[in-house]
Amino acid sequence: MPDRPRGRHTTYLVALTTEHGDDGALGPVVYAVMKRKPEEALAAVRALAELPADVRIVGSLSTRTAKALKLKPDEVRPV
């Protein structure tokens, strides 16, 4: 049986900063998100936000670090 082609995943670090009433912006929460495209990572974190939020990619993790965290494809985890 031939091997299936594997899609490459990247572990993006995505910051989510929410607006909270009159108090202004709270501190950002950073998530590790393993996705194939940066747009998918942004959408996954945006889906977690209950309030209007600013979502930005702030970096990435190495494959070694993602494995140490036991992060799975399509998983979103706060770090």
pLDDT (tens digit per residue) in 32-71: 999 999 999 999 999 998 888 899 999 999 999 999 999 9
Is residue 1 a part of any domain in this protein?
no
37 domain residue, yes or no: yes
Q: What is the pLDDT of residue 1?
A: 46
Assess if residue 36 is contained within a domain: yes
Number of domains the chain contains: 1
Q: Is residue 31 part of a domain?
A: yes
Phi-psi region of 23 (alpha: psi -120 to 50; beta: other; left: phi over 0): alpha
Evaluate whether residue 3 is within a structural domain: no
Flag whether 18 is in a domain.
yes
Sorted by sequence, the CB contacts under 8 Å of residue 41 that are 6+ apart come out as: 12, 14, 33, 35, 57
Classify 32 as helix, strand or coil.
strand
Per-residue pLDDT, 52 = 83
The domain containing residue 42 runs over which residues?
10-78
Whether 67 is in a domain gets the answer yes
